Structures are given as structure tokens and as C-alpha cells.
Structure 1
Amino acid sequence: MTLSPAEFEVAQLGERTVASPLSDTRFVAESDRVLFRDDLASLRSALENGVAPLSFELAGPRERIFFDPANVKCAIVTCGGLCPGLNDAVRAIVIGLRDKYGVDDVLGLRFGFEGLVESYGHKPVQLTRQRVGWIQERGGTVLGTSRGAQPATDMVDTLERLGIDVLFAVGGDGTLKGAHEVALEIRRRNLSIGVIGVPKTIDNDISFVETSFGFETAVAAARNATQAAYVEASGHRNGIGLVKLMGRDSGFIAGFAALADTHVGMCLIPESPFSLDGVVRAVLSRIELDGHAVVIVAEGAGQDLLAASDQSDASGNVRYGDIGVFLKEQIPKLARSNGVDVSLKYIDPSYMIRSLPANTRDAAFCQLLGFAAVDAGMAGKTDIVVGLWRRRFTHVPIPLAVSTRKKVNVDGRLWQGVLSATGQPRDLR
């Protein structure tokens, strides 16, 4: 991609004239930036061409803020599929608003963006400190969620009717696109309502965001599935353990799960094409070497081997064929045609993983993300998602974050590490 400094610039609702109520804190200046690229060649090229290196605005509390905490009203919405950490993020935003800034009026909107359309009849709930005090202990989202685009005009009508000053939208790529449409409609109406995104995607596929919450919990839980697959595979003659993990278009969970479990002998992801013959040859080679094989496949891998679908889900995503079931049926059949009778056990833990509470690392990450979102909202930032880049929290303009989907680089360190760890051929076609 060819990027310009303008694409990294953050929208601001207006001049910040209110003194921050925060004390004993280090305030962040607008000039504080985080480099997008930090390699010497990129920095030298920018300097030689007389341009500033590309950089993100640093997240954090501002000394002067846009909203008066005594007169501000905020709302939180969770959208899309379930993911570990949703409740942690909601709780962090509520605690940040109430305890850090003294904001008394925080609403939770029910069932995703449906909660912003009056005709659905979902009543918002008041989010007090007591109401969210325990929610991080359970999975899912206490606010409920949904998929599907809602008219931005209707959603902004509801924001105006409720008197909302800042909307916090917790979700993935589709949620952020919806939040951007809301921000555009707000701008068209010349309203002073901030829209702040918090990146939630178990697939870790939001661009310009180093990692999203829920991903670490998902990888840790996936290891339980791969270890079960190993036990099953190693306990049978010519045993195969096949595990399907999340990852519609990006194979990050599958790749990290393969690195985390040395018993995995093959990892199949959407970014690296393969053929059924190539997979079976490699599986049989692994069985010949170890007596068994453990295979991970991401849900979006190998879609070219399946019948094309003309159906879409509520979010507009094409409904993918089930590569796990396909491989479960075809691998034994093709192995037998090669004179090898195999015993294949298939594990799909997707919904069990999605519904888990966040692990310790994700819980801490959600807390910091939520606080960064609150700081951005109170400062009058809008149409941005808070992210992490080079271990520092940043403000990423939503149009930049949704401009492309983050994918595994098959020439990069992650995939090269997977190939080394599994011992699988680079080309499985």
C-alpha cells in the first residue's frame, strides 16, 4: 500500500477548552507520535525526501479535554461475534468514565447496532459501577450482540434522542465500518458526538492494529484442542487428529496455535493455497515418520476446493464452506486409495473458545484499551479506533483501519516459523 501522512491524521470534534480532572498522571501531547515503520531504510528514505515519517497519534490522557465530565453522556455497544474479553472492555470503559473522569451517565445499548434503531425496541440499560463490577468473570457480553448493518441515519437519530455525546463501539471490521458511517452522518449533521472504536476480533485481522483482544485467549484455548487431537491420533494406528480453528480470511490463530504445540505436523491457512492431494501426501509422510499426524486448518482455508456459495451472513460476509468437514471426509478416502487405512478424529472447538472469559493477559489488555478509549472520547477524538503499535497505545483513523484486512505474510517470520515447527512442505499444491 502507498500511504500518506494525511491518512494517519485523527479527526477532532473541536477545541479542547476544559481542564482535565485527572491528577497524578502523565499527560500526552498532540505532538507525541508512534512511528509506523521503524526500520532504518524507511526512516532514511523519508528524511532524504524531506517528508516526515509515517506515524500514529499516541493515545492517552490530554491536559485539556473537549467534554465537561459533569455534562457528558456516553453509550457503549458491542457488535459481531462473541469473543473473550468483551465484558472486560465494557467494564473498563465504564470504570474509566466514572472513576477517572467522574462521568455519571453511561448507557449500555442492547444487541449491537440494533440497540441504536428505535424500531427494534431494545431499551438501553444504565451501566453503574455495581452493575459492571462482576461481568469480567464471565464470557460473552452482558449487553448482547448482533450482526448486520443498520441505517446510519436511524442510529444517529437515536444518539440525538438519547442525548449521547460519545459512542464507544466494541467490535471488529464490520463494526468499525458501521461506526465510520455513523461518524460520517454525525459530521453531515454538524453534531458534536464522538465515535470511538475498540478493536475486537478473535481472528486478529484488523489492519494497523498490532493485536486485538481475545486473540491470546483463543490461542491458549486452541492448544487444549490440539493436545486432545494429539492424544487421539497417537492412540490409534495411522491416527490423524484434525482441528478446525477460527480464521475466515487470516490464519493468525492457526499459525500461533501450531507454534504453541510441537505435536502439530501441519497447519493450513487461507493465505497459503493447497490441494487435497498435496495435503494427503504430506499427512501420509508424517504418519510414516511418527506413526500419527496432527493437522490444524483455519476455517477460511481451502475455499477453492469447495463449492462456491451465493449466500451471505447478516454482516454481508460470504458464507464459507466447511473445510473441516470436507477434509474429515476426503483425507481418509484418498489415503485408502493410496493403500493406507487411517483413523481420523475431528475437533471443532470454535464456539467453546469464543464463549470463554478472557485470560489474564487479555483481561489486562482490555483494561488498558478501555481506558485509552475513554481518554480519546473525552478529548473529543472521533472516527478512530484505539490500537496497539510497537507496545504503545495509538489512535488509528477508522478509514485506515478498515482499508484492508490484515493477513499472514507467507514470507514473514510467523509463517516461516510455522513451516519450521511443523516440518510441512512450503508448497502443498
Structure 2
Amino acid sequence: MRIGILTAGGDCPGLNAVIRSVVHRAMTGYGDEVIGFEDGFKGLLEGHYRTLDLNAVSGILARGGTILGSARLERSRLREAAETSAELARKYGLDALVPVGGEGTLTAARMLSDAGMPVVGVPKTIDNDISSTDRTFGFDTAVMVATEAIDRLKTTAESHQRVMVVEVMGRHAGWIALESGMAGGAHGICLPERPFQVEDLVKMVEERFARGKKFAVICVAEGAHPAEGSMVYKKGEIDQYGHERFTGIGTRLAAELERRMGKEARPVILGHVQRGGTPTAYDRVLANRFGWHAVEAVHRGEFGRMTALRGTEVVTVPLAEAVTRLKTVPEHRVREAESVF
């Protein structure tokens, strides 16, 4: 068989581990040929690809990013890929395509599958917001990076009697903020799923200072927003890929807290550092397992599906099920976090 693989959307730790796993399982297990399309669906449309053999993937297990590159495409070009999917499969002699990506990539994968391309998807996102899978690789690494940042910021916040507002990634789902906030012992966590009251944060900080704990760390997801009337807040515009451009809630919240309390508040925007660097052992193992099971699914003819973690087992689920809705933080998880502030 000839299997194509591509990585699309935002990068995250573990992508290279998936690529390596697919190549190893396909070549050593079945004698397949594997080609990698460069820069995601752009490479598929424009014919930019290269052969991947064991030498090509040697030494990439622990490397961050993706050796194939990644790029986002406008929706019109994704529709173009879907409309010509059967032709593209014939052009490249593909028996299967393994797209690795998040919600947008998997939605495009479903479009290709519905149009006749034999597809097995692999879920990827540091946000952990893809439904139908308990975890996605990249998430554990992002939480580790954010937790370490909170640990480090606590000591400098205490030394200078400051309030630190740490902004982490998470557009529509606050999993990184929730778990890094809990692991790092943040004193407040703000999530996209629940609009926050600035008054509650002010009260928390003032009470800490009154008890002699003259510092605080608040972990806020980039997609978090205040409750209506809590503070002046303007949503960002929608970009060409359909994503909201966030206006820096961490910076704005820090300024608002400082204005109301007269205490120094500093924003810390972690940004893309959460996506880069070496994946954790957990993410490497999960990425390896997803790649292995993707090849198995190809050889079973389970197309139009993606790999997923259910408990401790890797299974396949329909792509349609995976992209129907985002997996957001449920209310009971928020209550758990609040109990340890």
C-alpha cells in the first residue's frame, strides 16, 4: 500500500513521534510505502511531498514541531481539496491518507473522506478539546510548561508582593488553565466555559493580603472573558481562517486589577512556548500508539475514522462523531478546582 501523511494546523509536541510511528509500522509491519505531504493540505493540493523511510524519521522521536511543516488554509482551498479528493488520491497513487491535526484539520479530513478519499485521522491539539478522545498528545507537555511557569512566578510574585496574571492557551476550552492552575496551585482560574467576575478576583486578592499572603497568581485561558458588566471588554475580529483574534485578556485583566486595588499586577503571556520543545514521555507514548493504530486501521479498511483514547485503550471512532462538538471543561471539574484555591 501507499500511505500519505500530513500535519496541519498549529504545531504541538508529539507530531514527529506520530510520523515516526506511522513509518515504522507501515514499513516494517506491512512493507508499505509512506510519503509525507509538506505544509499540510497545501502540500496535498500543490504536489509537495517526499518519501519517508526509516532513515528519514531516525532521531525525531523527541523533537518538537513537525519535520513535514504545517500551514493553515483558507476554507475555500479546503473545499477545493475535498472536491478533487478522488482525483488527488489517483494522482499520488494513495491507498490511504493519514491527516494529523486538531478540530479544523479533522473537519477537513471528514470532507475529504465524504468525497471519496480513504482517510484515517489522528487527533492532535494542546487544548485537549477534541470530543471522542479522552486525551490528545501535546496537552500533557503544554500543562507541564504552564505548571512550571506558575511555580516559578509564585516566588517572584511573593518577593515583590505582586499579582501575576498568567495567560495560557485555550480558545474555547480551558483544559490547560484548569490543570496547570490546579497543579501549580494558582489562586484563581479563569476559563472560557464560565465568564468570570472581576469583583470575585479582587476579593480573593484582598483577602490573601489581609491574611499576610501578600501575593497571588491567577491563571487565565486566552479565551476566557468577564461576565457582562464586570469590566470593559471587546471581542476580537474573525481572521481569514474563521478564528477569533483574541485581544489579550491576561494583559487587560492585570491592568483592571491594578486599577481597582492599587496593587502591582503583571501579565505573563506564555504563548507559543507551550507548543514548542520536547514532548513529555506521556505525549511520546500516546503519539506512538496513535500512529501505530492509524496504520492498523488503514489495513482493516476502517476509513472515515480517527484514532482515539478511551480509558487506557486506543480505538477508532467516526470522524463525524469527533468534529460534531468541542470537548469543554464540565462544571464539576470547575468545582473541583475551586475547592483547592
| TM bracket, shorter-chain basis | over 0.9
* Structure 1 residue corresponding to 2:7, chosen from 63, 75, 78: 78
Partner of 1:265: 187
Give me the identity figure in percent. 32
Partner of 2:210: 288
Partner of 1:54: none
CA deviation vs aligned residue, 1:255-295 (integer Å, no higher than 9, x gap): 11122123x11111011111223322222223333111011
Partner secondary structure for residue 115 of structure 2: helix
Q: Answer whether contact 2:62 2:284 (CA < 8 A) is retained.
A: no
Map 1:313-332 to 2 at 5 A.
313-314=240-241, 316-332=242-258
Partner of 1:127: 52
Corresponding letter in the other structure for 1:354: R
Q: Distance in 1 between matches of 2:148 and 2:280?
A: 14
Q: Distance in 2 between matches of 1:313 and 1:226?
A: 33
CA deviation vs aligned residue, 1:206-264 (integer Å, no higher than 9, x gap): 11110000111111111111012201210113x112111111011111111122123x1
Corresponding letter in the other structure for 2:200: G
Partner of 2:239: 312
* Structure 1 residue corresponding to 2:35, chosen from 91, 101, 107: 107
* 1:356 matches 2:277: yes
Mean Cα displacement is larger for which, 195-204 or 390-399? 390-399
Corresponding letter in the other structure for 2:62: E
Q: Distance in 2 between matches of 1:76 and 1:85?
A: 15
* Structure 2 residue corresponding to 1:94, chosen from 9, 12, 23: 23
Q: Distance in 2 between matches of 1:114 and 1:232?
A: 45
Partner of 1:226: 150
* 1:245 matches 2:168: yes
Corresponding letter in the other structure for 1:124: Y
Q: Distance in 1 between matches of 2:260 and 2:240?
A: 32
Q: Answer whether contact 1:96 1:374 (CA < 8 A) is retained.
A: yes
Partner of 1:55: none
* Structure 2 residue corresponding to 1:254, chosen from 177, 187, 194: 177
TM-score by length of 1: 0.74
Q: Answer whether contact 1:92 1:367 (CA < 8 A) is retained.
A: yes
The RMSD of aligned alpha carbons is 1.5
Q: Distance in 1 between matches of 2:294 and 2:282?
A: 18
Q: Distance in 2 between matches of 1:156 and 1:227?
A: 51
Corresponding letter in the other structure for 1:183: S
Partner of 1:403: 324
Partner of 1:372: 293
Map 1:36-55 to 2 at 5 A.
none
Q: Answer whether contact 2:85 2:115 (CA < 8 A) is retained.
A: no
Any gaps of 5 or more consecutive residues in structure 2?
none
Q: Answer whether contact 1:241 1:346 (CA < 8 A) is retained.
A: yes
Deviation at 1:313, TM superposition (A): 4.4
Q: Answer whether contact 1:251 1:269 (CA < 8 A) is retained.
A: yes
Deviation at 1:185, TM superposition (A): 1.0
Partner of 2:303: 382
* 1:140 matches 2:59: no
Partner of 1:35: none
Any gaps of 5 or more consecutive residues in structure 1?
1-71, 187-192, 337-341, 423-429
TM-score by length of 2: 0.93
Please say which structure displays the higher CA radius of gyration: 1
Partner of 2:111: 181
Q: Distance in 2 between matches of 1:349 and 1:318?
A: 18
Q: Distance in 1 between matches of 2:210 and 2:266?
A: 18
Partner of 1:159: 89
Q: Distance in 1 between matches of 2:269 and 2:87?
A: 42
List structure 1 runs of 4+ shifted beyond 3 angstroms: none
